Structure 1
Amino acid sequence: MAPPLGNDVHTFRSVHRHSRRSVLGGLGGLAALGALGAAGCTRVASASDKPGGDLLERLRAQGVVRLGIAGEIPFGYIDKNGHLTGEAPELAKVVFRRLGVGRVQPVPTEFGSLIPGLNSQQFDVVAAGMYVNPERCQQVIFADPDYQMLDSFIVRKGNPLGLHSYKDVVAKKAKFATGTGYAEIEYAVGAGYQQGDILIVPDQVAGLNAVEAGRVDVFAGTALTVRAVVKKSSKAEATAPFAPLVKGKPHVDGGAFAFRSAETALRDAFNVELHKLKTSGELFRILKPFGFTEAEMTDLTAKELCGG
């Protein structure tokens, strides 16, 4: 999932907010989400002074870990039957079971509230396919990425403006939209697009609606979410995936689990199990049902993406 910039708070022009949960799960999913959210709103215990933290020990004692999710397919969401799923929650179930924590509990929140919610101890870990970037690495610590991702555009059928990169968007003076807190904001601005002219919408579904209605020419998101959301559209299509330019060089993003900065012991233990899953091929088997391909498996590290 694309990351927010800075401290995850942005003020832009926005369109009417469609309910992401109602789109994903219907009324049944929405009701279940409300119940799960209510169950998960109590804050977790305060942090320990123990070097490396003692959260893993406490989670083992409790038998449950609370996952911050943002309700975005395919990263982490509640399905139409009210069940927690998505690439990150399914991976979390496997890893935490191996760590001696038998149950996961979702705490749904807005994407831009994931890091503040984690650091205010509303949940134990962010399990939302969150991109790793230097700004975010100043606020939390990350496991190594479990996937890598390119960008893609939603455009009208036939791509009438010929938009294949952020430079194209700037050159064609296209009306540009992306999601709340998405990394694509930064990529567009880096290509020369005026930040104040970007239309910010809640998610890729709202982005598709904006393109189909002609409010914008293009919506930018991850290649995976874009290709999934246009499948049933008769008016829009996805462009070929591409790497955005950062400081003049192609950049590949990586998504990972985020932890509070003091909880290095939990992060390190998580990484050990994650790398075992990568080596065995089990990681790909977990992520494949959510549309991930072998090209999106990665050996990127959090240290690389944090700029270390």
Structure 2
Amino acid sequence: MAPPFGYANDRDTPGTTRRSLLAGVAALGALGAAGCSRVATASTVAGGDLLERLRAAGVVRLGIAGEIPFGYIDKNGQLTGEAPELAKVIFKRLGIDKVQPVPTEFGSLIPGLNSQQFDVVAAGMYVNPERCQQVIFADPDYQMLDSFIVRKGNPKGLHNYKDVVAKKAKFATGTGYAEIQYAVEAGYKQSDILIVPDQVAGLNAVEAGRVDVFAGTALTAREVVKKSSKAEATQAFAPLVGGKPHVDGGAFAFRQTETRLRDAFNVELRRLKKSGELFRILRPFGFTRDEMTDLTAKQLCGGGKSGAS
């Protein structure tokens, strides 16, 4: 996963389409949405008063992109995934008992947040300077490296983007993935990249021999190849950005005015990290201890506005 400059990927599992996941979330979200399509007006007080308003309402609306393992409808029709399960725990600690999904496309998450369609982005969104100019982030709840999907045995010996360029491999990645930029930075011609909808389509392209490699996040790559007899995931690696290894981190996003809510969220997130409960929440969704992180939003925002206190 790594949508451009840090969106989460379309990480659907085999047999599950992103469209079907969005439809499922839409059906669930509609239950509580009748008669009210937008959240309350934006806070005007310093630091925002959204936390108090959410406590009074007893519900927080989450901008969700309908993706496994970040937020999806399970076989029992229940909303689950890394972000919703984490949101349930943290917001309950903040005095808000209910989370309500608001489904949207990845590209609409930040615009939807800033236009009051929901209260928080809960979609495993990568933190980067571009996004930090538009929203404020909590500290990352996970970090992520890249990985390739290749044919069994990795016949071309592809382990990083420089290998792809040097061996003139046929390269694919997902729509809007950050891996596009990583490959271009390594010297791959952007017009030669095959863009596919998601990692399932990428797996299919590798298995069919249409490409030599599909690039995605380590998590999505290792999950999608589990049932494949023709493909495997390479060892996770850090792409080079500006000549230096780069590790991405995913986090919840908030409107720039709502620093009080973001700060309160961070306090609880840090407690979960310290106690080890964060890993227990994320582990069922394929996360490993290697993906737990102490990275901060301020670090990942770089020259952008982190809003960090």
Q: What's 1:274 paired with?
A: 269
The reply on whether 1:169 has 2:164 as its aligned counterpart is yes
Structure-to-structure mapping, 1:138-217, within 5 angstroms? 138-217=133-212
Displacement after TM superposition at 1:69 (Å) = 1.5
Q: Is the 8 A contact 2:135 2:256 kept in 1?
A: yes
Contact kept, 8 Å, 1:25 with 1:80, in 2: the verdict is: no
> Unaligned stretches of 5+ in structure 1?
9-16
Residue 33 of structure 1: which of 25, 30, 40 is its match?
A: 25
Q: What letter corresponds to residue 268 of structure 1 in structure 2?
A: D
Q: How far 1:38 sits from its partner (Å)?
A: 3.6
Q: What letter matches 1:23 in structure 2? A: T
Cα displacement (A) at 1:287? 0.9
- 1:258 correspondence with 2:253: yes
Is it true that 1:23 corresponds to 2:16 in the alignment?
yes
| Displacement after TM superposition at 1:272 (Å) | 0.5
Q: 1:235 aligns with which of 230, 242, 245?
A: 230
Indicate the RMSD between aligned Cα atoms, in angstroms: 2.4
**Can you list the C-alpha shifts for 1:151-180, whole angstroms capped at 9, x where unaligned?**
001111121221110111111222222222
Counterparts in 2 of 1:112-131, with a 5 A limit? 112-131=107-126
Native 8 Å contact 1:24 1:78 kept in 2:
no
Which one of 279, 289, 294 corresponds to residue 289 of structure 2? 294
Amino acid at match of 1:277: L
Q: Distance in 2 between matches of 1:110 and 1:191?
A: 29
Cα distance per residue 1:175-201 (max 9 Å; x no partner): 222222222111111111122222222
How many aligned residue pairs are there? 298
Question: What amino acid is aligned across from residue 95 of structure 2 in structure 1?
Answer: G
Q: Do the aligned residues in 2 keep the contact of 1:243 with 1:251 (CA within 8 Å)?
A: yes
**Which runs of 5 or more structure 2 residues have no equivalent in the other structure?**
304-309
2:109 counterpart SS class: helix
Q: CA 1:257–1:30 in structure 2 vs 1: closer, same or farther (change >3 Å)?
A: closer
Q: Indicate if the aligned counterparts of 1:204 and 1:225 stay in contact, CA closer than 8 A.
A: yes
Residues in 2 aligned to 1:125 and 1:3: alpha-carbon distance in whole angstroms: 19
1:18: Cα distance to partner?
12
| Cα distance in structure 2, aligned partners of 1:19 and 1:130 | 16
1:70 maps onto 2:62 in alignment = no
Change (3 A) 1:166 1:30: closer
**1:42 aligned counterpart, secondary structure:** coil
Deviation string 1:14-59 (CA, Å, 9 cap, x unpaired) is: xxx99989706997x6764341244458222221211111111111
Q: Quote the residue 2:307 is aligned against.
A: none
| CA–CA separation in structure 2 for the residues paired with 1:82 and 1:99 | 26
Q: 2:94 corresponds to which letter in structure 1? A: L
- Cα distance change, pair 175–38 in 1 and its aligned pair in 2 (3 A): farther
**In the superposition, relative to structure 1, how do residues 22 and 158 fare at CA in structure 2: closer, same or farther (>3 Å)?**
closer
Q: CA deviation at 1:4?
A: 2.3
Other structure's SS at 2:61 match: strand
